[in-house]
Amino acid sequence: MIACPDARGIIASVANFVSDHGGNILEGDKHSDTHHGEFFMRIEVEQGGFTLDDKTFANEWKTVADRYDMRWRIDWGSRRKRMAILVSREEHCLNDLLWRWRTNEIDVDLPIVISNHDTYRGAAESLKIAYHHLPITAETKRQQEQTIRELLDSNAIDFVVLARYMQILSPEFVANYPEQIINIHHSFLPAFAGSKPYHQAFDRGVKVIGATSHYVTNELDAGPIIAQSVIHVDHRDTIDDLIRKGRDLERMVLATAVRQHVEDRILVSKNKTVVFE
């Protein structure tokens, strides 16, 4: 994955570098942001025949990276990413992620589920996933977050999914996991913020409902957007219909965002994402 100021010759330089080291590009995609003058690129290289590895690549690549002032990262595919799920009372996103993980649709290790309620211990432990119940009050919030961080560290977690985790994470917590915490919410925010957003939307007679998944930042529900989807509704839909359709969207959008993150298809720049599908 590459991000840098746009310039002539980047694609040729990358392709020549791969070829010069015995590599074969299996998949490639690029995007030029003409408004900000930025260039983004993602390639997949066949490892068979490629003469560089995780110990030698950076030194060889440095000449190309420095020439174009690149930000870059590489995944050698030598280990699966490790995911943790945080959840509160609503179970639809948790259950969907557990099913997709169990069927290998999301190719990650999932060692822990953490919740401020003890409701879904059975669902996790039936799949041999450790379940950690960490109640929270205003007085214990700081210690609870510290315990979460210790669990994430001890389990070598790469990224965290908030599957309807209804607690606001502190700036200190978020700062430790940049672009590594994925959240899901209904797209009514901020128009229908607060409790019972679907009731508010019903009262306004909305014609479209949606869901948004994004990376968590210190600005509440304003991080870089990864995935979104909408569905049309009309006057025939009840509040229960809106809630049901909204939950379906939340499940699908969150799973899409998690998959894109796991497959290293997301680049972040200026609070926006470039997602290579």
Angle between helices 57-68 and 10-20 (to 10 degrees): 160
CATH fold of the domain at 82-275: Rossmann fold (3.40.50)
2-72: CATH, from 3.30.70.260, 3.40.50.800, 3.40.50.300, 3.20.20.220 = 3.30.70.260
Q: What mean pLDDT comes out for the span 97-114?
A: 98
Residues of the chain with CATH 3.30.70.260: 2-72
pLDDT surpasses 90 at 58: yes
Q: Which listed residue (6, 33, 109, 221) is catalytic?
A: 221
Torsion of CA 231, 232, 236, 240, to 10 degrees: 20
Question: Is 53 assigned a catalytic role?
Answer: no
Token code pair at residue 50: 């490629």
Cα–Cα distance measured from residue 249 to residue 243, given in angstroms and rounded to the nearest whole number: 10
- Mean pLDDT, all residues of the chain: 95
Split at pLDDT 50, 70, 90, the class of 189 is: low
| Region(s) of the chain under CATH 3.40.50.170 | 82-275
Output the pTM of the full model.
0.93
pLDDT exceeds 90 at position 187: no
Transcribe 143-182 into DSSP letters.
HHHHHHHHHHHHTT--EEEESS--SPPPHHHHHTSTT-EE
State the average pLDDT over residues 173-192: 88
What gap in Å lies between CA 201 and CA 245, rounded to an integer? Answer: 13
Q: Is 154 exposed, middle or buried (0-12, 13-18, 19+ CB in 10 A)?
A: exposed
Instruction: Calculate the CA 84 to chain-centre distance.
Output: 12
Taking only the tens place, the pLDDT of each residue in 114-154 is 999 999 999 999 999 999 999 999 899 999 999 999 999 99
